[in-house]
Amino acid sequence: MQLIDRFLNYVQYDTQSNEETDLVPSTPSQMAFAQILAEELKSIGLQDVTLDGNGYLMATLPANCDEPRPVIGFIAHMDTSPDMSGRKVKPQIVKNYDGKDIVLNAEENIVLSTKQFPEILQFVGQDIVCTNGKTLLGADDKAGIAEIVTAMEYLINHPEIKHGKIRVGFTPDEEIGKGADHFDVEAFAADWAYTMDGGDLGELEFENFNAASAKIQFKGCNVHPGYAKHKMLNAIRVAGQFANMLPRHETPEHTEGYEGFYHLISMNGTVEEATLTYIIRDHDRATFERRKKEMTHLVNKINNEFGEGTATLTLKDQYYNMREKIEPDNMHVVNLAIEAMQAVGVACKVKPIRGGTDGARLSFMGLPCPNIFAGGLNFHGRFEYLPIPSAEKAMQTILKICELAR
């Protein structure tokens, strides 16, 4: 099966994850897709195909050369984002893109605008897979899956390309931060791996945010407002005071590159109780730790002003910057990917991830795992698209990595 045909088939399966369930994987549809994918891996000739009860799918392409070579892996996630529906995806292919706005849905006037998304202009003259404006596309990360599977099939059909043992792994629940929760690094048994989960052509990432979540619960005291003087404590107002104590420009809408932030992602409350939930992000570990200490400091200030127990902080680390595990001893993994991209005519763009990947956690679990572009853009929404030549270059990069790995 050709790469894009395979991709268009995969996006027909609704595999949204859901952080509100206690299931593993979080939605049954992910396991259903994993079972179909497992059969496909067997049919193209991969060996040791295993699908565990948590929805983790692994397989092997045996080495076809006599010389000892490292075991390398390629990983992608099966789920799509809960941010927008992945049900009944109806992709459309824009042939020979002309550089104008793309009408995704004329009836509902949904337009992929070059003014809003100017990056698309770099793909003039190319064929682009878009949505119909009603769902996400699913290139994140079914493009990665399609690229890996198609590359493995190509290697099977072209034994003249010599390579070592290759492992592939497909995970559930990456989009809700749980993709590495049950990943068996020992069973995967690779020397290193790559997640095919990046965006634009040429992206290569071995740095990501350090990440934590913070929940602050505020306790108030409700009294009839007509008789509340010196008695009422409005938890909502105290929560608002706390929010205003954080640096106003250290938020996602004011930061880029290596700049970190505090991001208020939810708030709710009454006079009696209020809750603020934040995510904390920074590439620098020391600055990340200072950000967490600042949250603690501000909670203490609230309690000093309004009384002990008014504010309670729950901090939880989520993942760390994989650079800590890549840069000291494993830069050869990054350099190999750069060499492979250059060999297939891709200009490599090494950049930090302003987020996280399964590879970040896997790197701390003992599997060095940088992130390589899969080619899609505008993930998680109706304006997601995949330039077909970018997907083809991603697949070629996989092939060249397999060939060059020594």
Instruction: State pLDDT tens for residues 64-98.
Output: 999 999 999 999 999 999 989 999 999 999 999 99
Residue ranges of the chain that CATH labels 3.40.630.10: 3-207+322-404
Compute the average pLDDT of residues 10-28: 95
The pLDDT value given to residue 177: 84
DSSP-H helix ranges across 75-138: none
Nearest to 375 by CA among 215, 52, 144, 164: 144
Work out the pLDDT band at 239, boundaries 50, 70, 90. Answer: very high
Share of the chain above pLDDT 70, in %: 100
Task: Select which of 174, 207, 250, 384 is catalytic.
Answer: 174
Helices (H) and strands (E) in the chain — how many of each?
Answer: 10, 17
Known catalytic residue at 305: no
The pLDDT value given to residue 185: 98
Whether the predicted pLDDT of 1 surpasses 70: no
The helix (H) or strand (E) run that includes residue 169 is strand 166-171
Compute the average pLDDT of residues 317-324: 94
- Domain 3-207+322-404: top CATH class: alpha beta
Residue 328 CA to residue 337 CA, distance in Å, equals 17
Nearest to 60 by CA among 41, 77, 86: 41
Residue 332 CA to residue 70 CA, distance in Å, equals 12
Residue ranges of the chain that CATH labels 3.30.70.360: 210-318
Known catalytic residue at 184: no
Nearest to 180 by CA among 74, 53, 278, 319: 319
Instruction: State pLDDT tens for residues 347-381.
Output: 999 999 898 889 999 999 999 999 999 999 999 89
Instruction: State pLDDT tens for residues 276-291.
Output: 999 999 999 999 999 9
Instruction: State pLDDT tens for residues 194-214.
Output: 999 989 999 999 999 999 999
Topology, domain 210-318: Alpha-Beta Plaits (3.30.70)
Compute the average pLDDT of residues 95-114: 96
